[in-house]
C-alpha cells in the first residue's frame, strides 16, 4: 500500500504540474491578445512610434521564467535588424507619415549598431518623411540617434550630457591579497589586459595606451557621424562651455538649443502636439496624443525574418561558450546545429556570418569556425559581417570568411589568449587551515587550488596558452595572407577600431550587413537585387515566447527608470561594480584557456549584469 500511495502522489504531482503549465500558457495567450492593437498597426495612417525603452542588440536574449516571475527580467532588448527593417518599410509605405523617436529611457547599444539605425532613419528622411526625436535628456548613445532626426526635442528641465568613450574599471589585486586569494595567470599577448584586474591595482602602461587609442578612434567616428547627420550642431564649443565654471549657472537645455544640438524645447505634451500637426490628433482625449502606429504592431505586420532565401545568415552574438545556449549567447553546439540543419534542409548557395561578440571559450570558437569551414567545403562562399564587436574569439570565428566586412566603429582584433586559475593557500593560512596530500606523478592533484599550482602544472597550462595563441596566429596568417611574424606584431591581444583594422589588413572592407549579403549573392552568382535570405538560428519555444511577451512590451509612462541625465550618471558606479563582479564570475566559471576581450565595451549595456545569489551576499559583506 505504501508503494501504491507513492505512485498516486507522483501522478497527482504530475497532474498539478500540467495544470500549472496550461494555466501559464492560457494566461500568456490572454495577455498577448489583450495587449495587441485591434488594427495591428496597419489599418490607419499615422506616425510610426519607436518608444525604445531598452538597449538595441544584435540578438535579444530570452528572459527565463524565473526572471519574469520575479521581476528581474530587465528592460526589453530590441533586435537591430527588426528596427532597421521597420524603418526601411516605413520609408516606402504611404501609411507612415512620419517617425517619432521616444528616447526617454533608451538604454543605448553598440556604436556600430546605432550607426546602422541612423542610416535607416536617413532613408526615412530621404523619402520625404520627417523624423522627430524626444528625450528629457540625451547622452552619447541617444544623441547619436537623435542627430539623424529632422527635429530634435528636449525637455526644458533636461540637457545634453555627452561624455565620450572612456571611464574607469575595478582592479582587485589588493582585495585578493586581503582575502589571501592568488590569481595564477597564464597569457599570451602583451596587451591581453583581461587578466590585469586580478594581478594589478591599476592599468598597465601597455593596456592604457591601447585603450586610449581605441577610445580616441571611437570618439572621432562618433563626432564625424554627428557632424554629417547634423551639420548645424556646434558640438565642440558646447562641450567646452559645459566644463567651464560658468556651466554651474547655465541652463543646460537653453545652452543645447543655442549650440544647435536641439531644435525645440518642450515637454512630452508639446512634442505630441507637434507630431499631431503632421499625422493628426489621437483618438484618446489626453494632451499630446497623436495618431500613431506602435512599433510592436508594425514589426508584427512587417517581420524582418525570411526563411526561404538561398543565402543563409548565422548570428554569433554575445559570449562564445561551449555547449548549448539560448539566444543572445553564442553556444557553440547551438550554432553548429543551426548551420548543419540549414545545410541539410535548405538549398543554400552562400553563407553570411554576422559577428557581434567579444569572444569567450577558445575551444568553442574553433568549433564554430570548423562548422563554417564545413559549409565552405561544400562550395558555399562565406562572407563575414562584423557588428559593434568582433574581438578575440569573435575574430577567431571571422577567419573562416572569404571576405570580411567591418565598420569604422567596429571593435575587433584582440588576438591573444589567457587562462586564470585561482588558488587559496593564502586564505587557508589566514584561517589557520592546512592542506596536504600525496602524489604519484608531478601532476597528481593538479592544478592544486588549495596549495597553489605546482611549477610543472603552471608550465603545462602556459604551454597550452602558447599553443592556442600560436594556432590563432597561424589561422589569421592563412586567412589574411600575412606573415605569422606580422600577425604576432599586430596581435599581442591588442584591440583595434575598424578603421585601423582595415589599414592593418585584419578586415577587407567597410560595409554593413546588407553589403555583406550583396557580396555573398555576387559570389554565388545571384543578382543582389533578388537576393533573399534565411536566418539560421534557433526559434524560441512557445513557453519562451509567452514569457518574452509577458516581460516585453513598449515603454509606458509608468516605467520608473531614470530619465534625467544626472540620475543616469548616478547609476553608473553601481553598474560598474556589478559588471566587474559579473565578469569575474564568468571568467572563473569558463574554460581555463579563453580567447576573450574584457577591454571591449559590453555589447548590450542596457541589460543589468547578472551575478549569483552567493555573490550578492559577498557584496553585502564587503559593503559592511
Catalytic positions, written as ranges: 192, 392
Q: What is the rounded CA–CA span in Å between residue 614 and residue 588?
A: 14
CA dihedral 590, 593, 599, 600 (to 10 degrees): -70
Where does residue 557 rank: exposed (0-12), middle (13-18), buried (19+ CB within 10 A)? exposed
Q: Read off the DSSP letter of residue 109.
A: B
CA-based nearest residue to 170, from 585, 584, 577, 616: 577
Q: Which residues pair with residue 96 across a beta bridge?
A: 46
Within 13 A of 351's CA, how many CA atoms are on the CB side?
30
Q: Which residues pair with residue 354 across a beta bridge?
A: 315, 385
Q: Are 183 and 427 in contact (CB under 8 A)?
A: no
CB-based burial, 512-549: b 16+ in 10 Å, e otherwise:
bbbbbbbbbbebbebeeeebebbbbbbeeeeebebbbb
Place of cell 512610434: 49
Q: Read off the DSSP letter of residue 191.
A: T
Q: Give the CA distances from residue 185 to residues 190, 399, 418, 449, 592, in Å, rounded to whole numbers and listed in that order.
A: 13, 27, 7, 13, 10
* Grid cell digits, residue 362: 577558445
Q: Are 358 and 397 in contact (CB under 8 A)?
A: no
Q: What is the rounded CA–CA span in Å between residue 261 and residue 135?
A: 13
Place of cell 569573435: 394
Where does residue 171 rank: exposed (0-12), middle (13-18), buried (19+ CB within 10 A)? middle
Q: Are 62 and 325 in contact (CB under 8 A)?
A: no
407 CB-near residues (< 8 Å, 6+ apart): 112, 115, 386, 498, 510, 511, 512
How large is the C-alpha radius of gyration of the chain? 26
Q: In what order do the strands lie in the sheet with 417-423?
A: 182-188, 417-423, 593-596, 359-361, 320-321, 330-331
Amino acid at each position: 500500500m505504501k508503494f501504491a500511495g507513492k505512485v498516486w502522489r507522483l501522478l497527482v504531482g504530475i497532474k498539478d504540474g500540467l495544470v500549472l503549465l496550461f494555466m501559464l500558457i492560457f494566461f500568456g495567450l490572454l495577455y498577448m491578445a489583450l495587449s495587441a492593437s485591434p488594427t495591428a498597426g496597419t489599418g490607419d495612417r499615422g506616425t510610426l512610434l519607436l518608444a525604445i525603452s531598452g538597449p538595441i542588440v544584435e540578438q535579444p536574449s530570452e528572459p527565463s521564467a524565473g526572471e519574469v516571475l520575479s521581476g528581474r527580467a530587465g528592460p526589453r532588448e530590441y533586435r537591430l535588424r527588426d528596427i532597421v527593417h521597420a524603418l526601411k518599410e516605413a520609408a516606402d509605405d504611404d501609411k507612415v507619415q512620419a517617425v517619432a523617436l521616444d528616447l526617454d529611457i533608451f538604454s543605448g547599444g553598440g556604436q556600430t549598431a546605432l550607426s546602422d539605425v541612423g542610416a535607416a532613419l536617413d532613408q526615412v528622411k530621404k523619402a520625404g518623411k520627417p523624423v522627430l526625436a524626444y528625450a528629457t535628456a540625451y547622452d552619447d548613445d541617444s544623441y547619436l540617434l537623435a542627430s539623424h532626426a529632422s527635429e530634435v526635442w528636449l525637455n526644458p528641465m533636461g540637457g545634453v550630457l555627452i561624455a565620450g568613450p572612456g571611464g574607469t574599471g575595478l582592479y582587485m589585486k589588493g582585495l585578493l591579497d586581503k582575502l589571501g586569494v592568488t590569481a595564477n595567470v597564464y597569457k599570451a599577448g602583451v596587451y591581453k589586459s583581461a587578466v590585469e584586474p586580478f594581478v594589478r591595482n591599476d592599468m598597465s602602461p601597455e593596456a592604457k595606451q591601447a585603450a586610449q587609442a581605441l577610445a580616441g578612434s571611437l570618439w572621432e567616428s562618433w563626432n564625424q557621424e554627428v557632424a554629417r547627420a547634423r551639420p548645424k550642431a556646434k558640438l565642440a564649443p558646447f562641450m567646452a562651455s559645459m566644463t567651464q565654471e560658468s556651466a554651474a549657472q547655465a541652463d543646460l537645455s537653453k545652452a543645447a538649443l543655442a549650440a544647435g544640438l536641439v531644435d525645440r524645447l518642450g515637454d512630452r505634451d508639446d512634442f505630441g502636439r507637434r507630431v499631431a500637426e503632421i499625422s493628426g490628433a489621437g483618438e484618446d482625449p489626453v494632451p499630446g496624443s497623436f495618431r500613431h502606429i506602435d512599433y510592436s504592431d508594425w514589426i508584427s505586420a512587417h517581420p524582418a525574418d525570411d526563411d526561404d532565401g538561398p543565402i543563409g545568415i548565422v548570428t554569433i552574438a554575445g559570449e562564445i561558450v561551449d555547449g548549448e545556449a539560448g539566444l543572445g549567447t553564442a553556444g557553440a553546439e547551438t550554432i553548429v546545429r543551426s548551420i548543419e540543419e540549414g545545410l541539410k534542409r535548405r538549398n543554400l548557395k552562400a553563407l553570411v556570418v554576422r559577428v557581434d561578440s567579444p569572444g569567450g571559450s577558445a575551444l568553442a570558437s574553433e568549433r564554430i569556425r570548423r562548422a563554417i569551414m564545413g559549409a565552405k567545403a561544400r562550395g558555399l562562399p562565406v562572407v563575414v559581417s562584423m557588428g559593434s564587436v568582433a574581438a578575440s574569439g569573435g575574430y577567431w570565428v571571422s577567419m573562416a570568411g572569404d571576405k570580411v566586412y567591418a565598420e569604422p566603429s567596429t571593435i575587433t582584433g584582440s588576438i591573444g589568449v589567457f587562462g586564470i586559475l585561482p588558488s587559496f593557500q593564502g586564505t587557508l593560512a589566514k584561517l589557520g587551515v592546512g592542506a596536504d596530500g600525496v602524489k604519484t606523478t608531478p601532476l597528481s592533484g593538479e592544478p592544486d587550488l588549495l596549495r597553489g599550482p605546482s611549477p610543472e602544472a603552471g608550465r603545462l597550462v602556459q604551454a597550452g596558452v602558447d599553443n592556442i595563441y600560436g594556432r590563432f596566429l597561424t589561422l589569421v596568417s592563412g586567412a589574411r595572407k600575412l606573415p605569422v611574424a606580422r600577425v604576432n606584431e599586430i596581435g599581442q591581444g591588442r584591440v583595434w577600431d575598424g578603421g585601423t583594422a582595415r589599414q592593418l589588413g585584419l578586415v577587407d572592407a567597410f560595409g554593413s550587413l546588407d553589403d555583406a549579403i550583396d557580396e555573398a549573392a555576387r559570389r554565388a552568382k545571384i543578382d543582389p537585387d533578388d537576393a533573399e535570405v534565411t536566418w539560421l538560428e534557433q526559434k524560441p519555444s512557445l513557453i519562451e515566447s509567452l514569457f518574452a511577451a509577458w516581460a516585453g512590451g513598449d515603454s509606458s509612462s509608468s516605467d520608473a527608470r531614470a530619465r534625467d541625465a544626472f540620475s543616469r550618471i548616478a547609476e553608473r558606479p553601481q553598474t560598474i561594480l556589478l559588471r566587474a563582479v559579473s565578469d569575474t564570475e564568468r571568467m572563473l566559471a569558463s574554460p581555463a584557456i579563453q580567447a576573450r576581450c574584457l577591454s571591449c565595451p559590453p555589447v548590450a549595456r542596457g541589460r543589468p549584469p547578472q551575478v549569483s545569489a552567493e555573490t550578492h551576499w559577498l557584496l553585502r559583506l564587503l559593503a559592511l
